[in-house]
């Protein structure tokens, strides 16, 4: 039956959409496709997942599932022997010899509709032998723990990740600066602390969805809601043994990412399934329950700190040991551990530092990129300990921070010289906004009032050679199309790139179009949309591309007018001469060029500007000491502060005032910067007060919005003050740096410090729920 001969039938699963049906010659059943671009005969996939946290797979029998009418293919790990991973290549697409977390894919079915695929899963019989599991990263790092990845020594890994074969430590990053043990003798005060920051979920509004199709010529097309289409192309090509040029990833706008749609997670599943049904597209959509624990989650952290200062309040020494709960695979998480290591002092100058940052395999869900990339967790410990030390010395917490915060020219923990930063201004602005130092009484006898502040810093956590590229083309009407490879995930990246292109070209912003969706076949290369790097890295590429196009326009006009380029400019879409006062519109020359005298031939032609950017100056860090000339490209710094009340009868927190101040280098679009700061603050507040994945022996107990609370509009503080500080970055476009992740980094710590100021209580870690606070106050005798 041809496509033209098909009939439209109502969906058998009761959906309101009318779908195209294609009569199956073998079964006589109707196949329904959701979308014509995927081709007729779209198949729907469902995944059989492990019910065990750690177990051997003894036998998989899928004969009954395979025989179910409407099922087109069943796959298992036996079909896909190669591993996949971004940093540490440690993960199979489907489990093979063993399962390592509850929810790990074991098998999958593709069928003519989702209902049949779901029924087929129940017909797959898997026999397991349970094994001892690891749920505590501290125990997991010990010699007594069972090995979860006995073959780790064979895994591929870049030269800046340091797995410890024969252990569960997937990465051990060290900082050794000065002599910490001798430095304790110089300290007038020393404090020690330990905190636990739990797993949380990204909970994007749009769950993960991907469609894959292998064609008969061996090429693959993948449609995915992705922050990383080029990384997906590369990793999938490697895992399936094909050329990257034969893999095409199409990534429309993303309905919420926050890191969970970075790298390759569930996208490899439909790719694998589709490889067994060439010519037919396979669609996989995660349920909300699957979204909670089968994909990336934010790693949990156990952080142990010892910190000391001298009699004048100068920080002297820091010992920081971090146990990151990497989960069953640490293919992405090992880099979070590395980032935790080279950020391990927080934004403070310590002459003596001893850091051990350990990424530990456990039988929890897979830890991956999450907004802040480990910095919220790290700063939750650092900033509370800073407050503890200041209190022990009898020094005001703001004054203590102003005295010790990192400043331009400091030699920081890795041996790198800190670039200019406006952190001091951030501290002062945030403190002023909540009237720090001014006594504030509770609004009623049954409430306690407190103020807290916390600082942050964060560098883009990326390989030393992560690159960006861009292209600028003119249309006949003078409009400009910018092609790029970075993704729009709601942060306004496309808006800012259009502004940058317009600014360089001298044309109105309204004349710029940013091309989408991203398509690795046509879009210029971009490493990933992560690490708050697009404004800086992709921005530099767009500026270079626009400058290339501008130079071509001006060279052409100078030749045509027989003038010097230095005398020309482009203003509001017109090339003008300050010397001869001639002018012409860019739309007259952007495509067709200009005629020679008497129209004896033409010069110019379609203007296409190309630009790329890659930092060339990031150096390796020594394995034993973590020292090197330049560990990162730059740091974004900032501060947040709270003025709160706590109801003694309920434990509920009310935010009276809150404030954020961040040094963004240069705010290309101040309103978007403000929106990022406000949104990041709310997400940080959500993780501070509400969010926690409740895990019991590897099983998530609250995988729904009924039991997993996130902040909503009703939780937004009535007053949130924002200050934008601008100390330009030397290698940023117009001095700009990123600000996407940073606003949620200090929130937990700032709120914890305010809670302590109000109650005198330090909790082990977030979330600071009303119930937890009430019970803590009850135990402390603060309430009757």
Does residue 494 form part of some domain? yes
Does residue 176 form part of some domain? no
Give the C-alpha separation, 282 to 113, whole Å: 10
Q: SS3 for 93?
A: coil
> Domain containing 573 — which CATH number?
3.30.365.10
User: Is 345 found in the same domain as 276?
Assistant: no
Q: Tell me which residues are annotated as active site.
A: 741
User: Is 489 found in the same domain as 449?
Assistant: no
Helix count (H) and strand count (E) of the chain? 16, 36
Indicate the residue among 569, 591, 613 that finishes a domain. Answer: 613
User: Is 629 found in the same domain as 486?
Assistant: no
Q: SS3 for 159?
A: coil
Does residue 730 form part of some domain? yes
Does residue 186 form part of some domain? no
User: Is 716 found in the same domain as 689?
Assistant: yes
pLDDT at position 757 is 98
Mean pLDDT by 10 residues, the chain (784 residues): 33 30 32 55 97 98 98 98 98 98 98 97 98 98 98 97 98 98 98 98 97 97 97 98 98 95 97 97 98 98 98 98 98 97 98 98 98 98 98 98 98 98 98 96 97 98 97 96 97 97 98 96 98 98 98 97 98 97 95 95 96 97 98 98 98 98 98 97 98 98 97 90 98 97 98 98 98 98 91
User: Is 660 found in the same domain as 517?
Assistant: no
User: Is 446 found in the same domain as 477?
Assistant: no
Give the C-alpha separation, 479 to 476, whole Å: 7
Give the C-alpha separation, 567 to 447, whole Å: 69
Both ends of the chain: CA-CA distance in Å?
Answer: 78
* Number of domains observed in the structure of the chain: 3
Does residue 497 form part of some domain? yes
- List the beta bridge partners of residue 658: 642, 720
Indicate the residue among 285, 309, 342 that finishes a domain. Answer: 285
Does residue 147 form part of some domain? no
Q: Which are the contacts of 475, defined by CB distance < 8 A and separation ≥ 6?
A: 481, 590, 591
User: Is 660 found in the same domain as 635?
Assistant: yes
Q: Which are the contacts of 656, defined by CB distance < 8 A and separation ≥ 6?
A: 449, 643, 644, 645, 717, 718, 719
φ, ψ dihedrals at 534, nearest 5° = -65, -45
User: Is 457 found in the same domain as 585?
Assistant: no
Domain interval for residue 514: 3-30+466-613
Does residue 172 form part of some domain? no
Indicate the residue among 553, 585, 613 that finishes a domain. Answer: 613
H-run or E-run covering 64: helix 63-67
User: Is 651 found in the same domain as 599?
Assistant: no
**DSSP H helical ranges for 101-159:** 114-122, 137-140
> Domain containing 94 — which CATH number?
3.90.1170.50
pLDDT at position 232 is 98
Does residue 451 form part of some domain? yes
Contact 665, 727 (CB under 8 A): yes
The closest alpha carbon to 269, from 99, 138, 101, 77, belongs to 77
User: Is 551 found in the same domain as 449?
Assistant: no
The model's pLDDT over 406-417, given as tens digits with 9 standing for 90+, comes to 999 999 999 999
φ, ψ dihedrals at 209, nearest 5° = -150, 140
Give the C-alpha separation, 324 to 322, whole Å: 6
User: Is 470 found in the same domain as 456?
Assistant: no
User: Is 639 found in the same domain as 697?
Assistant: yes
pLDDT at position 25 is 32
């Amino acid at each position: 039956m041809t496509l033209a001969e098909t009939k439209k039938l109502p969906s058998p699963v009761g959906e309101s959409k009318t779908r195209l049906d294609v009569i199956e010659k073998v079964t006589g059943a109707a196949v329904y496709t959701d979308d014509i671009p995927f081709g007729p005969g779209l198949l729907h996939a469902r995944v059989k997942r492990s019910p065990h946290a750690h177990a051997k797979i003894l036998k998989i029998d899928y004969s009954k599932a395979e025989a179910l009418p409407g099922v087109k293919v069943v796959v298992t790990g036996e079909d896909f022997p190669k591993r996949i991973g971004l940093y540490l290549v440690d993960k199979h697409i489907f489990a093979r010899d063993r399962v390592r977390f509850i929810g790990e894919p074991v098998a999958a079915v593709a069928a003519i509709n989702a209902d049949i695929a779901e029924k087929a899963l129940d017909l797959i019989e898997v026999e397991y032998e349970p094994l001892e599991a690891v749920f505590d990263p501290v125990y997991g790092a010990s010699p007594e723990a069972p090995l979860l990845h006995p073959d780790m020594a064979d895994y591929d890994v870049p030269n800046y990740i340091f797995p410890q074969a024969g252990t569960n430590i997937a990465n051990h990053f060290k900082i050794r600066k000065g002599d910490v043990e001798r430095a304790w003798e110089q300290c007038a005060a020393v404090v020690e602390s330990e905190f636990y920051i739990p797993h949380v979920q990204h909970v994007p509004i749009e769950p993960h969805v991907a469609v894959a199709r292998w064609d008969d010529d061996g090429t693959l097309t993948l449609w995915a809601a992705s922050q990383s289409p080029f990384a997906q192309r590369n990793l999938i090509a490697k895992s399936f043994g094909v050329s990257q040029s034969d893999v095409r990833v199409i990534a429309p706008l993303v309905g919420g990412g926050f890191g969970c749609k970075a790298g390759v997670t569930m996208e490899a599943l439909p790719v694998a399934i589709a490889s067994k049904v060439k010519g037919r597209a396979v669609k996989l959509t995660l349920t909300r329950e699957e979204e909670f624990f089968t994909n990336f989650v934010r790693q949990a952290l156990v952080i142990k700190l010892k910190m000391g200062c001298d009699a004048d309040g100068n920080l002297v020494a820091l010992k920081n040991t971090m146990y990151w709960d990497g989960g069953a695979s640490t293919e992405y998480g090992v880099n979070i551990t590395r980032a935790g290591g080279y950020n391990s002092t927080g934004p403070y100058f310590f002459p003596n530092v001893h850091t051990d940052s350990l990424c530990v395999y456990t039988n929890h869900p897979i830890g991956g990129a999450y907004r802040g990339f480990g910095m919220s967790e790290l700063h939750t410990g650092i900033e509370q300990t800073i407050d503890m030390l200041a209190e022990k010395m009898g020094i005001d917490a703001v004054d203590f921070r102003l005295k010790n915060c990192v400043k331009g020219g400091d030699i920081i923990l890795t041996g790198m010289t800190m670039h200019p930063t406006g952190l001091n201004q951030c501290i002062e602005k945030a403190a002023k906004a909540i009237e720090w130092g001014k006594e504030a009484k509770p609004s009623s006898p049954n409430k306690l009032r407190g103020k807290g502040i916390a600082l942050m810093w964060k560098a883009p956590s990326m390989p030393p050679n992560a690159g960006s590229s861009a292209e600028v083309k003119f249309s006949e009407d003078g409009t400009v199309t910018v092609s790029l490879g970075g993704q729009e995930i709601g942060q306004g990246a496309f808006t800012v790139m259009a502004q940058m292109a317009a600014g360089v070209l001298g044309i109105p912003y309204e004349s710029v179009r940013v091309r989408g969706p991203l398509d690795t076949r046509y879009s210029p290369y971009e490493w990933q949309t992560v690490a708050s790097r697009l404004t800086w890295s992709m921005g530099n590429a767009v500026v270079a591309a626009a400058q290339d196009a501008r130079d071509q326009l001006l060279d052409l006009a100078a030749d045509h007018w027989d003038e010097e380029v230095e005398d020309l400019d482009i203003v509001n879409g017109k090339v003008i001469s300050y010397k001869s006062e001639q002018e012409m519109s860019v739309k007259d020359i952007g495509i067709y060029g200009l005629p020679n005298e008497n129209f004896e031939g033409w010069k110019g032609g379609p203007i296409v500007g190309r630009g790329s950017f890659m930092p060339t100056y990031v150096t390796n860090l020594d394995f034993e000491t973590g020292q090197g000339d330049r560990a990162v490209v730059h740091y974004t710094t900032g501060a947040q502060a709270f003025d709160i009340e706590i109801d003694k009868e309920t434990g509920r927190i009310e935010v009276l005032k809150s404030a954020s101040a961040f040094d963004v280098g240069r705010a290309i679009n101040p309103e978007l910067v403000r929106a990022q700061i406000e949104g990041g603050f709310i997400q940080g507040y959500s993780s501070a007060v509400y969010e926690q994945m409740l895990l019991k022996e590897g099983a998530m107990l609250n995988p729904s919005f009924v039991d997993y609370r996130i902040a909503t509009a009703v939780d937004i503080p009535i007053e949130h003050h924002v200050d934008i500080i601008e100390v330009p970055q030397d290698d940023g476009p117009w001095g700009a740096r990123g600000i996407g992740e940073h606003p949620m980094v200090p929130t937990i710590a700032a709120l914890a410090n305010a809670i302590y100021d109000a109650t005198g209580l330090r909790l082990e870690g977030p979330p600071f729920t009303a119930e937890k606070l009430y019970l803590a106050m009850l135990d402390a005798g603060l309430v009757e």
